[in-house]
A and B are shown apart, each in its own frame.
Chain A
Amino acid sequence: MRRFLPVLSITIAAFFAYSTVLAKDITERSLAVKAAKLVEVFALLGAFVTVAMIVAALVSTSTFRIAFAQRMRELALLRAVGASRGRLARGLVVEGATTGLLASVAGVALAAGAGQLAPLAGLPAPGFPLTPALVVVAGSFVLTTLAVLAPAWSAAKVSPLEALRTSATQDTRSRIGLPRWLLGVTMAIGAVLLLVDVAVEGLATDRRPAGMTEDLLFKTTISGTLAFLALITLGPALISPVLRLAGIPLRRSTIGSLAVSGVGGAPRRAASVTAIVALGVSLIIATITGANTLQGLGKAEMAGAYPADLEITGPVDVKQLENAGLTGVLPYRRAEVQVGRLTMEATDLDLSRLRNLADFQFESGSIEDMGPGKIILSTYTAHSLELSAGARVLVNGKPTTVAAVVFGGVPLGSALVHRSDVEGPVAGVLANGDKARVPAGVEFESLADLRAAKENWFTTLVAVALGLLFLTILIAVVGVGSTTALSVVERTRESGLLRAIGLTRKELGRMVTAEAGLYGVIGALIGLAVGIPYAWLAIVSLGVDWPLQVPVVAVGLVVLALAALTAGAGLLPARRAARVSPVAALHSIQ
């Protein structure tokens, strides 16, 4: 079983990848059409599957490293009796690749098996798309093989003398060499420079040339990747300060301090496993922060675009509509206005009488400032004219004051003016109520329906993204579990000693669980520190005219859930550690 720990993450990733293929198959069968919107969803899925695969490969590299380190004596013995370095490395790579192949096949088989449960949920059973299955198996096989290369090579460098040692030594080094420092710092500087570049460019330009958004997004991605690579490179040196912070609440108890020093005792291992957790967390945090911000904007945009349930156009009788049971009937008139150098559609809609007034967000000014001789503009218009609330501008040649600037857009046109400044007949009305109540022969559009369709689409997309990121987290949690399991095996003597001098089984178990939880908390802290700036950067690159909204409660929940999940992943290794008798533990060679 221990040989398969390093590839457990690969099994999950393969399962996940093939499940996506099957999900697509099921969706197509049940809809019997290839809807254009599905293509978008599955492109997103594909991106997340790729991230999950990379995380799985990283987890597997780190676990291979530990697993090989534990077999140092065996490997040293092989070296002592004449195995060459190259041959040893080849042997380990072949072993890793073989388990990787088995793991990938197992993942695909599990997904195919799980797919057959679809009829239970009232969905059509998927087929067995062969080509994607082979692609998934081949892909995960290649990834595992790549993942095992570096650990195999460094394990093969073991000195034959190591076979004579009675106890394995832990890698307690936290220092990293100068070249590694230089590389890490260079990447970190690169990441920051790009970040600043994107921020400056993204914030400065109001009107973007074609392709600029894509360009900024690309730079954001590169900067994020550099930041993550810098994190991995500098990890062992960063662990101890972060650990000092995360360990504060634990230091009060002896078992807690032991857990903190247990994690700190193998900084390289702690660095690689927490970096993986941090990647998962930063993606989740960036997604929920981004989604929350876009949702805020979405709400404001929807408030502007769909200010009521119904829009009735043409000359109408307000009394007739009210008698039909519609509420909030609000007539408006239209006018074409010249604001500064721009010509636009405006209405005299009274914003303050809208049901969803609270959804509107004002960049400057407020609704109370509206009155005769005043105008309300959208941020887009205001920015292009370089105006804000209180500024004076010529509207149709008349000096006018900007009362407020609204995020996302104003309803029914590009500007709102006061009813005393518009002449002419009523152009239409907004009303709330069931569309069935609209009297026959009246022309209308159901804004409520349009809004619901749009909202559902966004919510589904965010849910799908979060679900997939959760699977990435799951792989990282499996990484924490296998790291803890191997660390427990490596420190059997140490736990034997602690048991001998008075640690009960339960207390030893608690210590191991706390160590696993610490990996999660440290990863989450680093993930937060990286995720939130990049969420902001992504919003800036998308050119979204909206302030960053960090969903504090959700972020807190993510961190807590992660600590709980990783601590949970430590439960099995903790039981195992607690089961071993102190005599057996003290006499184990590892």
Chain B
Amino acid sequence: MNNYASAAVDLVKVYGSGDTAVRALDGVTVGFRPAAFSAIMGPSGSGKSTLMHCLAGLDTATSGAALLGGKDLTRLSDNALTKVRRDRIGFVFQAFNLLPTLTAEQNVLLPLNLAGRRVDRAWFAQLVERLGLSSRLSHRPSEMSGGQQQRVALARALVTRPDVIFADEPTGNLDSRTSADVLNMLRQSVREFGQTIVMVTHDDRAASYADHVVRMADGRGVQAVAA
């Protein structure tokens, strides 16, 4: 499992207890290759988001292991998990989740500022240029379209050069043209920058952009290789 960027080993997540207990993850074992664009697919309630939350160190598992580059996240304290997220993981969310009071540039640089890390200006300029954000840097989220906001969110995830970017339904709030645009950018980040991306989606068209697809149903995963 150590040659995967991110992997789950017999991962179990139970919500609640007794009669009302729900096994959201029922012993999932799956791995995601580095420098690849992977998708986790499945209908709602299949456990795909829970899997992503555990792999990204946002949630704790009931048993099993969630590995990030071979390191088990399930044994880490909240502070250590926060550090892992800050330094090694990037996020893109369905609802963009930009801070409304910050400009696009401030939103992109926020993870570096939180970590107290120096900004690599050349890398930042390259990202901004590739994502077509040059003319938007001083805009606030409310002055940008959904597609633009999602590109800012992607830049925010890429700027720290994380081990893995987790994207949770990144096109869920976008129309089909903008969706294609964002998905192309995700794929481009994998090709050009060697970024590892794991995307959660219930949309076949979105999943078709990925190199690998894991299908989830009832808390269990089936690894499959897409075209």
Interface residues of A (CB under 8 A from B): 166-167, 170, 172, 254, 257-258, 261-262, 264-265, 493-494, 496-507, 581-583, 586
Q: Please tell me if the beta carbons of B82 and A502 are within 8 angstroms of each other in the complex.
A: yes
Q: Please tell me if the beta carbons of A505 and B78 are within 8 angstroms of each other in the complex.
A: yes
**C-beta contact mask, B41-61 vs A, less than 8 Å → 1, else 0?**
000000000000100101100
Name the A residues within 8 Å of B114 (CB-CB): 254, 498, 501-503, 507
Task: Select which of B59, B87, B95, B101 is within 8 A of A502 by beta carbon.
Answer: B87
Q: How far is the CA of A264 from the CA of B116 in the complex (A)?
A: 23
Name the B residues within 8 Å of A264 (CB-CB): 101
| A500-B91 contact, Cβ under 8 Å, with A254-B113, A583-B59 | yes
Q: How far is the CA of A493 from the CA of B90 in the complex (A)?
A: 17
Task: Select which of B53, B86, B116 is within 8 A of A501 by beta carbon.
Answer: B86
Q: How far is the CA of A499 from the CA of B99 in the complex (A)?
A: 13
Name the B residues within 8 Å of A170 (CB-CB): 100
Known contacts A166-B95, A254-B116, A494-B100; 7 additional CB pairs below 8 A are: A172-B101, A493-B95, A494-B97, A502-B85, A504-B82, A506-B79, A586-B97
| A497-B101 contact, Cβ under 8 Å, with A172-B142, A502-B86, A503-B82 | no
CB of B93 closer than 8 Å to a CB of A:
yes
Q: Please tell me if the beta carbons of B156 and A501 are within 8 angstroms of each other in the complex.
A: yes
Can you report 26 residue pairs joining A to B where beta carbons are below 8 Å apart? A166-B95, A167-B95, A172-B100, A258-B99, A265-B100, A265-B101, A493-B95, A494-B97, A494-B99, A494-B100, A496-B97, A497-B97, A497-B99, A498-B99, A499-B82, A501-B85, A501-B156, A502-B82, A502-B83, A502-B87, A503-B82, A505-B78, A505-B79, A581-B58, A581-B59, A582-B58
Name the A residues within 8 Å of B111 (CB-CB): 501-502
Question: Would you give the shortest CB distance from B108 to chain A, in whole angstroms?
Answer: 11
Question: Would you give the shortest CB distance from A264 to chain B, in whole angstroms?
Answer: 6
Q: How far is the CA of A507 from the CA of B79 in the complex (A)?
A: 10
Q: Please tell me if the beta carbons of A500 and B101 are within 8 angstroms of each other in the complex.
A: no
Name the A residues within 8 Å of B58 (CB-CB): 500, 581-583, 586
**C-beta contact mask, B65-95 vs A, less than 8 Å → 1, else 0?**
0000000000000110011011100110101
Q: How far is the CA of A493 from the CA of B113 in the complex (A)?
A: 20
Name the B residues within 8 Å of A494 (CB-CB): 97, 99-100
Q: Please tell me if the beta carbons of B100 and A500 are within 8 angstroms of each other in the complex.
A: no
Which residue from chain B places its CB closest to the CB of A499 in the assembled complex?
B82
Name the A residues within 8 Å of B79 (CB-CB): 504-506
List 6 A-B pairs, minimum CB-CB distance, nearest first: A502-B86, A265-B101, A261-B101, A254-B113, A497-B97, A504-B82
Name the B residues within 8 Å of A503 (CB-CB): 82, 86, 114
Name the B residues within 8 Å of A265 (CB-CB): 100-101
Which residue from chain B places its CB closest to the CB of A508 in the assembled complex?
B82
Q: How far is the CA of A170 from the CA of B99 in the complex (A)?
A: 11
Q: How far is the CA of A264 from the CA of B102 in the complex (A)?
A: 10
Question: Would you give the shortest CB distance from B224 to chain A, in whole angstroms?
Answer: 27
Which residue from chain A places its CB closest to the CB of B84 in the assembled complex?
A502
Q: How far is the CA of A497 from the CA of B149 in the complex (A)?
A: 15
Q: Please tell me if the beta carbons of A500 and B85 are within 8 angstroms of each other in the complex.
A: yes
Name the A residues within 8 Å of B113 (CB-CB): 254, 257
Number of A-B contacts (CB under 8 A): 72
CB of B110 closer than 8 Å to a CB of A:
yes
Question: Would you give the shortest CB distance from A402 to chain B, in whole angstroms?
Answer: 64
Contact residues, B96-118 vs A (CB, 8 A):
97, 99-102, 110-111, 113-116
Q: How far is the CA of A289 from the CA of B181 in the complex (A)?
A: 64
**C-beta contact mask, B175-186 vs A, less than 8 Å → 1, else 0?**
000000000000
Q: How far is the CA of A264 from the CA of B111 in the complex (A)?
A: 21
Name the A residues within 8 Å of B91 (CB-CB): 500-501
Q: How far is the CA of A199 from the CA of B42 in the complex (A)?
A: 76
Q: Please tell me if the beta carbons of B82 and A586 are within 8 angstroms of each other in the complex.
A: no
Residue among A172, A498, A500 having the largest count of chain B Cβ atoms under 10 Å: A500
Q: How far is the CA of A265 from the CA of B99 in the complex (A)?
A: 10
Question: Would you give the shortest CB distance from B201 to chain A, in whole angstroms?
Answer: 17
Residue among B93, B110, B111, B115 having the largest count of chain A Cβ atoms under 10 Å: B110
Q: How far is the CA of A518 from the CA of B24 in the complex (A)?
A: 43
Name the B residues within 8 Å of A582 (CB-CB): 58
Which residue from chain A places its CB closest to the CB of B60 in the assembled complex?
A581
Q: How far is the CA of A503 from the CA of B114 in the complex (A)?
A: 7
Q: How far is the CA of A504 from the CA of B93 in the complex (A)?
A: 20
Q: How far is the CA of A501 from the CA of B56 in the complex (A)?
A: 10
Q: How far is the CA of A505 from the CA of B110 in the complex (A)?
A: 17
Question: Would you give the shortest CB distance from B48 to chain A, in whole angstroms?
Answer: 14
Q: How far is the CA of A166 from the CA of B156 in the complex (A)?
A: 23
Name the B residues within 8 Å of A502 (CB-CB): 82-83, 85-87, 111, 114-115
| A583-B53 contact, Cβ under 8 Å, with A502-B87, A502-B115, A503-B114 | yes
Q: How far is the CA of A103 from the CA of B145 in the complex (A)?
A: 46
Name the A residues within 8 Å of B83 (CB-CB): 502, 504
Name the B residues within 8 Å of A505 (CB-CB): 78-79, 82
Name the A residues within 8 Å of B85 (CB-CB): 500-502
Q: How far is the CA of A583 from the CA of B55 in the complex (A)?
A: 12
Which residue from chain A places its CB closest to the CB of B82 in the assembled complex?
A504
Q: How far is the CA of A258 from the CA of B95 in the complex (A)?
A: 20
| A261-B97 contact, Cβ under 8 Å, with A503-B114, A582-B58 | no
Question: Would you give the shortest CB distance from A161 to chain B, in whole angstroms?
Answer: 17
Q: How far is the CA of A496 from the CA of B83 in the complex (A)?
A: 15
Which residue from chain B places its CB closest to the CB of A257 in the assembled complex?
B113
Name the A residues within 8 Å of B56 (CB-CB): 500
Question: Would you give the shortest CB distance from A7 to chain B, in whole angstroms?
Answer: 30
Q: How far is the CA of A499 from the CA of B85 in the complex (A)?
A: 9
Name the A residues within 8 Å of B110 (CB-CB): 254, 501
Q: How far is the CA of A134 from the CA of B93 in the complex (A)?
A: 55
Name the A residues within 8 Å of B116 (CB-CB): 254
